[in-house]
Amino acid sequence: MAPEQVQIPTKISRNEDQQESPLYGDILEAILYHVPLLHLVPACQVSKSWNRAVFSSLRHLNRNVKPWLIVLSQTTWSPYKTTARAYDPASHAWIDIHSQPSIKSISTLRSSHSKLLYMLSPSKFAFSTDPLHRTWHHVDAPLVWRTDPIVALVGHRIVVAGGTCEYEDDPLAVEIYDTRERRWCTCNSMPAILKDSAASTWLSVAVDDSKMYVTDKNTGLTYTFDPDSRTWSGPYDLCPDGTVIGAMTGFANGCFILVEAIGSEVHLKGVKVWEVNGVSFECKELVGEMPEAMVEKLKGESDRVMSIGMSCIGHMVCLHNPWSPEELILCELDKGGCSWGSVRNAAVDDRTRMQKLVVTCSKVGLPDLHKALQVGALRLV
């Protein structure tokens, strides 16, 4: 039976002329500090003083708002309908996100380094970067026809590399879309050593403010790409362990990290998180290792791990098994260590199990929730 859906209150009825609440100033701010972001939206509507207190608590108390998980599922048949749910770790609530757009003739929704969702066809390229992914930009497709490229947003530029169709002359072709000038340009191809793995299936992508980091999931071999100079650097060998079935890179808690799956497809031994030196690209220190109980949850009902999906933003790292995504594993990095947890994936059921699933993390702010609630786009599950 489907869970009952409850409308999120967007306003608490109150007459401004009525007597104000005795809660005010530092006491009110201190209380609001502990209220989940989702429930601060109606709190803003209580009165002008409450509205000021909400935003003051967010600004001045150095509140650490946990990133949300965004899970999208897409049908594998036309018109490729997409639905989305978000999970707020602070309130432990799943929320439906309505009005997800679709593009005709595009069959695959993909994500890259958490901030970017995109869809690609021979004639159109669509991408979304806002926290709840409700706004989509539609532009002409890259000049080279691609089916499984790596895609990354670095500053105001979107880098699209590899993943070309078989009949294209250069399987390592790289193009950049400038979101300010709204045009495509070509640049130096990917390193030749990546010829047999130049696709998002085999490569992990991470970005910082100036570079894209591309890591071979099978070997840990890593290259960097600078969109300003349009040059590649590397290779760098990240993996300190020999038996690797998955190597993923990203940025979390201000650090470049390597998440390493150890073992084999039929016997996942463990998952380790390393901090990587951003200059020498040596594994600086072991941040943590996934507990055995979490490893079993990651295996899921399939009891096999062909690959691991990773999304990270802020201090949060989210891992899942694409072949058995019933459980989402969460790793929170803090002060040189990490803590582990998990959440049941409410987006997976008998209806969505065979659909395309995309998991990402997002920094959702109060203005994002206000906008979505104003148009009725959010609903508690």
Q: Tens digit of pLDDT per residue, the chain (381 long)?
A: 444 444 455 444 444 444 455 666 677 777 777 788 888 888 877 888 888 888 877 776 556 778 999 998 888 777 778 888 999 988 888 988 876 655 555 668 888 877 899 988 888 899 999 998 888 899 999 999 998 999 999 999 999 999 998 888 899 999 999 999 999 999 999 999 998 888 888 999 999 999 999 999 988 899 999 999 999 998 999 875 566 778 899 999 889 999 998 887 778 888 999 999 988 898 888 999 999 999 999 988 776 777 889 999 989 999 998 888 899 999 999 877 899 999 999 888 877 777 788 999 999 988 888 888 776 777 766
CA distances from 43 to 53, 65, 86 (A): 9, 17, 21
Measure the CA–CA gap between 41 and 8, rounded to whole angstroms. Answer: 9
pLDDT attached to residue 259 = 93
- Per DSSP, the three-state class of 197 is helix
pLDDT attached to residue 153 = 95
- Is-contact 51 58, C-beta < 8 A? no
Domains along the chain?
25-59 (no CATH), 64-375 (2.120.10.80)
Cα angle 54-60-66, degrees, rounded to a multiple of 5: 70
pLDDT attached to residue 22 = 60
- Is-contact 162 192, C-beta < 8 A? no
Q: Find residue 120's DSSP bridge partners.
A: 125
- Directed axis angle between helix 366-374 and helix 48-60, to 10°? 140
The DSSP call for residue 9 is P
Alpha helices in the chain (DSSP H): 25-32, 37-43, 48-60, 292-299, 366-374
pLDDT attached to residue 211 = 95
- Directed axis angle between helix 25-32 and helix 48-60, to 10°? 70
- Both structure tokens of 220: 């840990």
- Both structure tokens of 252: 């979390």
pLDDT attached to residue 75 = 81
- Both structure tokens of 304: 């096999």
Cα angle 311-316-319, degrees, rounded to a multiple of 5: 40
pLDDT attached to residue 38 = 80
pLDDT attached to residue 3 = 44
pLDDT attached to residue 14 = 47
Question: What would the DSSP string read from start to end of 55-102?
Answer: HHHHHHS---PPPEEEEEEE-SSTT--EEEEEEETTTTEEEEE-----
Measure the CA–CA gap between 127 and 377, rounded to whole angstroms. Answer: 19
Measure the CA–CA gap between 367 and 94, rounded to whole angstroms. Answer: 19
C-alpha torsion 287→293→298→304, nearest 10: 120
pTM to 2 decimal places? 0.86
